[in-house]
Amino acid sequence: MNYLLETDRLRLREFDLIDSDFIIDLVNSEGWLKYIGDRHIHTIPQAMNYLQNGPLKSYQLNGYGLSLVERKADGRAIGMCGILKREGLDVPDLGFAFLPEVAGQGYALEIVKATLEY
């Protein structure tokens, strides 16, 4: 794997279509639905479409985008974090989301700080 950055506990890498199962879990989690909204992604083809027209497209157009956050200890995908170019904003925006079962463990703060430094 080609990692963009690493912290003590986490790795950040670009998304790939093989991450479709993870995307289904993340975008249908309670926090995502409450704070980001329902993207109506429930199948592998829908998740692949989300990746192709979201993060993967952003990498090509902007040279950056949302990336997968992986826990070093077990290699498990636990969230996403990255810089986004959003319509209506003059400057890039920082975005992140994590699976609910890893909430409260400091992962978001750890990877956000590393992303900003990167």
Inter-helix orientation angle 44-53/20-27, to 10°: 90
pTM greater than 0.95 (yes/no): no
Over the stretch 60-110, which tens digit does the pLDDT of each residue have? Answer: 999 999 999 999 999 999 999 999 999 899 999 999 999 999 999 999 999
pLDDT on residue 2: 86
**What is the three-class DSSP state of 78?**
strand
Separation between Cα atoms, residue 61 and residue 117, nearest integer Å? 22
> What is the average pLDDT value for the chain, to the nearest integer?
96
Over the stretch 5-24, which tens digit does the pLDDT of each residue have? Answer: 999 999 999 999 999 999 99
Task: Classify burial at 3, counting beta carbons within 10 Å of its beta carbon; exposed 0-12, middle 13-18, buried 19 or more.
Answer: middle
pLDDT-derived band at 54, boundaries 50, 70, 90: very high
pLDDT on residue 81: 98
pLDDT-derived band at 1, boundaries 50, 70, 90: confident
Over the stretch 56-69, which tens digit does the pLDDT of each residue have? Answer: 999 999 999 999 99
